[in-house]
Structure 1
Amino acid sequence: MDGIMTTGALIAIAASAAAMTVIVGVRYLLTSGAFALATRSVRPGLYKGLDSQIGKEIRWSLLSAAIYGIPAGVVAWGWQERGWTQIYADPAAMPLWWMPVSLVVYLFAHDTWFYWTHRWMHAPRPFRIAHAVHHASRPPTAWAAMAFHPIEAITGAVVIPALVFFVPIHVGVLAGVLAIMTVMGVTNHMGWEIFPRALVHSRLGSVLITASHHQVHHEKYRCNYGLYFRFWDRLCGTDAGLAKPGWDGR
């Protein structure tokens, strides 16, 4: 029967979860590796003496890749085999204007979840148990984007898989969301600002989070909790602004 999980279905789900874990892990290694190489070229010596720290960042991140990959793999199977989700492949299934709107909706929802869970992670007990793993990166490097304790990784891994059950999204737009999540996660931790100063200090830059903003969080801890946007930090009075000029060696 369609509603019963057969042994074959369970094997297929496990295979999907394993495949997605590999994809997330390889995506992390390629993206962080590329930006680490860029750092070596643009800021030579910035990561000097951090080999032991980087090794820990990679190990924690690969563990996080499994935690992110498992629910993603289950959702991918459910979408393709059972139609469980609101993911659609036919652009005509929804009005075309919904594509850019859904991108913003997903990013804002993810940012909201991240802000409040991240802020909770800075309470003494959650910080000591879990979030201290991420802040052990001093300074953070391009390899630190997914360096999370499993508890923290779980809080980050559930939000996008949960959203696809409720908010329609084209599969291409979903890929865009994941790409933005990956790139911003890495670039915000590189220890230098990859984006032009003109953008960072522009009206658009005052809304978006880049390394110049997130670096302050790693220095002061109790501020700048957002992921993509500065909306919640500004609304809640936790926005401490950008790092001082020259913080990244410019």
Structure 2
Amino acid sequence: MMKHPRFLKNQVKLEIQCALSAFPGMTLLTLPWFLGEVRGYSQLYDDPAKYGYAYLVLSVPFFLVFTDYLVYWIHRLLHHPMLYKHLHKPHHKWLIPTPFASHAFHPIDGYAQSVPYHLFIYLFPLQRWVYLGLFVAVNFWSIFIHDSDMITGNTFINIVNGPAHHTLHHLYFTCNYGQYFTWADRWGGSYKHPSAEFDPMNDIKLVDAAAAKHKSD
């Protein structure tokens, strides 16, 4: 994807610099949530059997659906013109993102989209090791969906908001705001289905073909 005409010069370096500069601010903003957890104000619990094993298992999809829906609306709100140019625009500098763009945010933008993950455990019980696992998984998922991969036709493409969906979000801005699933976008009228015609590789092929033609001439 680095050959794409909209891939910025030194983009990977710029993404890394943006992410590293955002981490201190995001950490400070997030600190009160973690402090509350450490001091016992959240509903994290230790004993897996405390609320029953059925709840333990069901708390995982509940967490994913709850956070996905809130992230959808926070993300969509960040695209409002009054907020976008000040907060979210730095993240959309990367039209053809790499995994390093996953955390390349304005600090307030990154923090705002993390709030649902912290809010959940203040509203609902969650086993602390499950929470830790989900928190790590969320970050890996964010990295995964920023690889500009437009592989389509997989079994879950209509349900799961994967790399192809998020690639379209970076290219077209006003679609596919969801984090894990497509249902919120479908309900909100912002769903754009990935198809081969939108693949950024098409642009690369055109550039390569034009270069080859110019060379042959």
Q: TM-score, normalised on structure 2?
A: 0.81
Distance 2:22 2:114 in 1: 9
1:89 alignment partner AA: D
Partner of 2:52: 95
Partner of 2:70: 113
Aligned pair 1:57/2:15, yes or no? yes
1:98 alignment partner AA: Y
CA contact (8 A) 2:175 2:190 kept: yes
How far does residue 155 in structure 1 lie from its aligned partner after superposition? 0.7
2:175 alignment partner AA: C
Partner of 2:184: 232
Structure 1 vs Structure 2 CA RMSD: 2.4
Aligned pair 1:208/2:160, yes or no? yes
Cα deviation per residue 1:181-221 (whole Å; 9 max; x = unaligned)?
1122111111125xx85xx531x332111111111111111
1:206 alignment partner AA: N
Partner of 1:142: 99
How far does residue 174 in structure 1 lie from its aligned partner after superposition? 0.7
How far does residue 95 in structure 1 lie from its aligned partner after superposition? 0.7
Partner of 1:244: 196
Partner of 1:160: 117
Distance 1:243 1:57 in 2: 27
2:171 alignment partner AA: E
Distance 2:25 2:52 in 1: 34
How far does residue 102 in structure 1 lie from its aligned partner after superposition? 1.2
How far does residue 233 in structure 1 lie from its aligned partner after superposition? 0.6
How far does residue 64 in structure 1 lie from its aligned partner after superposition? 3.3
Distance 1:99 1:245 in 2: 42
Which of 116, 129, 132 in structure 1 is aligned with 2:86?
A: 129
Distance 1:100 1:66 in 2: 34
What SS does the aligned partner of 1:145 have?
helix
CA contact (8 A) 1:71 1:161 kept: no
1:105 alignment partner AA: F
Which of 144, 155, 170 in structure 2 is aligned with 1:218?
A: 170
Matches within 5 A, 1:163-178: 163-178=120-135
CA contact (8 A) 2:79 2:88 kept: yes
What SS does the aligned partner of 1:54 have?
helix
Partner of 2:37: 79
CA contact (8 A) 1:57 1:147 kept: yes
Cα deviation per residue 1:205-245 (whole Å; 9 max; x = unaligned)?
32111111111111111111111110111112211101426
Distance 2:29 2:61 in 1: 22
How far does residue 111 in structure 1 lie from its aligned partner after superposition? 1.1
CA contact (8 A) 1:67 1:157 kept: no
1:234 alignment partner AA: R
Percent identity between matched residues is 26
Q: Which 5+ residue runs of structure 1 have no aligned equivalent? A: 1-45
Matches within 5 A, 1:163-202: 163-192=120-149, 201-202=154-155
CA contact (8 A) 1:68 1:157 kept: no
What SS does the aligned partner of 2:99 have?
coil
Q: Which 5+ residue runs of structure 2 have no aligned equivalent? A: 203-217
